[in-house]
Structure 1
Amino acid sequence: MYRLVVLLGFLAACKTESSPSEPPVGMPPLGEPPANVVGGFSIQLPVQQLAPGAETSPCWVFPIELTGPSKLVGGAVLRTMPGLHHGNITSRPKTGEGIRRCEAGSGNEGTDIINGGMVLFGSSTQKSGDEWYRFPDGEGYRIRDGFEIVARMHYLNPTDTPITVAPKYEWFTIDEAKIVHELGPFLWMYQKFSIPARATHTASADCYLPNDHPSHIVTMLPHMHQLGRALTGAYIGGPHDGHKFLDSQGYNPDDGVLVQYEPPVDLTDAQGVRFECTWQNTFDKTIVEGIGDNEMCMVFGYAWPANKAYTLVAEPDNCIMFPTPPPPGT
């Protein structure tokens, strides 16, 4: 009997060791600063009044007024009131002094990153209250000397009364001696979709990773508008083939849709990802990519190593994935 028990225990252990672990589940980040904070920086957007139904997209430039010895950001928080549709906060090489409006033709988020900048914050659609990034201990992204902050805001007042909006962002830098994984940003986007009037529609793309892709996703932030019903990401190939690592409703202004993974989503053994967005069009018109009544299908996130954070661009019958460009000179 003893030998049988030992044998069964050995077989059970072998089965556990040879079976793939369960895919990680995304959870909301902790609503608190990261461990080992040694400094940080912040920005306060100017107060703006919004009439009922008003929609506007102001853009502001801020200096990075950093305190403390570190340039590694381990967490951040947005504090806002109703009226913030979303904000894309990036860094770029310095172009001037002080707080000021963005210059016409000064580029976009993509050119900021290509020029060595970093995505500093992306927020859930129509979020009100606080939204946190709080990376796992020892993980963070790097800001660089000689850079400034660009805040490209999108405000929308969906109510029938005037409102005031003035978001504030704060970043927390962590002890560089405690860093384990330096993070890089990525963006997934599906373009050129068309949602028929009064119809439910899913845009889907199978996207394959380049060779040598030890990418580990730490956070994912879906971005859809009010017609969004689902945004998902699933493994193609590998031990978790077909399993969803991201299963989001895509749009939730009350609770937000930002998720964090600990352990991370490991794409090392996957061949690629299946990226899908589903909408329910309640209008008597076709909906396409855009603002206002139109829709979006995007995910913003961070992954490690920083040079294996893969951006994805999809459209009907086509998808490409490529590493987010590293800063010049690295």
Structure 2
Amino acid sequence: MSQRILSTSSFHRHGRVSRCLCGMMFALFVPACGGEANAPAAALPAFSKGDKPLAEPPMYAVGGFHIDLPKETLAPGEEREVCYLLPLDITGPSRIVGGGYVTVGQGMHHGNITSRPKTGEGIRMCPEEEPGTLGGPAGDIIDGGAVLFGSSTQVIGTEWQSFPAGMGFPVRENQEIVARMHYLNTSSEPLEVAPKYEWYTIDESRVEHLMGPFIWVLSGFKIPPKSEYTGIGGCRIPPGMNVVNVLPHVHQLGTRFTGEFMGGPLDGQLFLDSPGYSTEGVIVQYRPAIDLSQGEGARFSCTWQNTFDKTIEEGIGDNEMCMLFGYGYPYEQTYSAFATGPENCIALALPSLD
């Protein structure tokens, strides 16, 4: 497997990046934001209005797989992070995923489900990772795994992550599932949480667009006490990437998440304007997909209203995150972005499927 790395604000400069830096690019659930600026004011163009994915199995489904996570009991106000390894047992002839869903009650802050090369049998806890080594979702993806599911913050009920007909992402053979779960009991009573996930594979002969996952992250923000703050990141991306599904991720102080074209005749034109934190689900699907070739890349922002008498930084608990992850096509032209400001960015392509 090989990767293409595009450094800083220009995609004409290529170079080598350490495995650790690549990890930052694919750390789908690392806290992030940075760079203060005024929030974009452009209106959503008619051609790019997104909707929720269809809450139903994809067309041409021929099989699938599922997991039921072990039950966890949370005390009132308790926050817990757990990680499980589970078998990836696909039924049917296909390894192209066309959609799936999670069903969960109260208590799941969010869940990050990936695949990675198989390391054992049965359901078991993830081993501790050695300090200074690349791990987490970053390592999974760089080692040839897939992003199977990411959920909205504090979602309750059933949330779908499905794709338009003829679209799906690949899952390699000899893989296992990694479920990195962030639980938070915001109630005054103990509760039990046990998420269930289901995926559908589709007929490979019907696949028109093979998709890949991406994550756009901003890093290094500090939100002053009792104030509103907007962080902006921007990244120039090579032509060819089409955005299909996106999932903004912020915590409870988040009030807005935007995505817009960067450069070109559509510079500043919004294709995403999300309310930020919402328990109703914030996954957006574009039909047709957003063609980033209409600009030179993408700019994205998070806005927070800090109600605390303290500075808020990146992290869990009272702290915040700012990231956008999703799926695009074609696979080999889908880029992630790690930004520290409106013009500072590193873009990273997915590992080759060869």
Q: With structure 2 as the length reference, what TM-score do the two structures score?
A: 0.84
Deviation, structure 1 residue 131: 0.5
Q: Which digits, 9 at most, give the CA deviation of each residue in 1:105-141, with x for residues without a partner?
A: 1721011000000000000000000000120000000
The answer to whether the 8 A contact 2:64-2:90 is kept is yes
- State the AA in 2 paired with 1:166: A
1:265 to 286, 290, 308: 290
Alpha-carbon offset, residue 323 of structure 1: 3.6
Q: Distance in 1 between matches of 2:65 and 2:320?
A: 33
Give 1:134's aligned residue: 162
* Aligned partner of 2:236 among 202, 205, 208: 208
For residue 322 of structure 1, what is the aligned residue in structure 2? Answer: 347
Partners in 1 of 2:157 and 2:340 — Cα distance?
Answer: 34
Separation (CA, whole Å) in 1 of partners of 2:311 and 2:276: 20
Q: Where do 1:55-74 residues align within 5 Å? A: 55-74=79-98
Question: CA 1:326–1:46 in structure 2 vs 1: closer, same or farther (change >3 Å)?
Answer: same
CA 1:118 to 1:233, structure 2 compared with 1: closer, same or farther past 3 Å?
same
- 1:283 equivalent to 2:308? Answer yes
* Cross-structure match for 1:295: 320
Structure 2's unaligned 5+ residue stretches are: 1-44
Count of matched residue pairs: 306
How far did 1:99 drift? 0.7
Letter in 1 for 2:293: T
Deviations, residues 149-187 of structure 1 (Å, cap 9, x unaligned): 000000000111111100000000000110000000000
Q: Aligned partners of 2:194, 2:347: CA distance in 1, in Å?
A: 36
- Tell me which amino acid in the other structure corresponds to 1:219: N
Which residue, 297, 305, 309 being the options, matches 2:334? Answer: 309
Aligned sequence identity (%): 52
Shift of 1:299: 0.7
Per-residue CA deviations over 1:270-301 (Å, capped at 9, x if unaligned) read: 11211110000000100000000000001110
Larger Rg: 1
1:34 counterpart = 2:58: yes
Q: For 1:57, what is the secondary structure of its paired residue?
A: strand
Question: What whole-Å deviation, never above 9, does each CA across 1:36-71 have from its counterpart, x for those lacking one?
Answer: 110000000001111100000000001111100000
Distance 1:284 1:260 in 2: 37
Which residue of the partner structure matches residue 277 of structure 2?
251
Number of the residue aligned with 2:11: none
**Shift, 1:318, TM fit:** 5.0
Tell me the equivalent position of 2:126.
102
**5 Å matches for 1:189-200?**
189-200=217-228
Deviation of the 1:321 alpha carbon: 4.2
Contact 2:216–2:336, Cα closer than 8 Å, also in 1: yes
Higher RCO by CA contacts (8 Å cutoff, separation 6 or greater): 2
User: Could you tell me whether the CA contact under 8 Å between 2:234 and 2:345 is conserved in 1?
Assistant: no
Alignment of 1:5-44 (within 5 A): 22-44=46-68
Equivalent position of 1:111 in the other structure: 139
**Contact kept in structure 1, 2:227 and 2:306, CA below 8 Å:** yes
Instruction: Select the residue among 232, 243, 248 that pairs with 1:217.
Output: 243
Query: What is the rounded CA distance, in whole Å, between the counterparts of 2:307 and 2:112 in structure 1?
Result: 28
Offset at residue 22 of structure 1 (A): 4.3
Task: Say if 2:108 is the partner of 1:93.
Answer: no
CA RMSD of aligned residues (A): 1.3
SS at match of 2:205: helix
Q: Distance in 1 between matches of 2:211 and 2:348?
A: 13
| CA distance in 1 between partners of 2:267 and 2:343 (Å) | 20
Change (3 A) 1:34 1:317: closer
Which one of 179, 186, 204 corresponds to residue 176 of structure 1?
204
TM-score by length of 1: 0.90
| In the alignment, structure 1 residue 185 sits paired with structure 2 residue 213 | yes
* Counterpart amino acid of residue 137 in structure 1: A
Letter in 2 for 1:304: Y
Cα offset for 1:312? Answer: 1.1
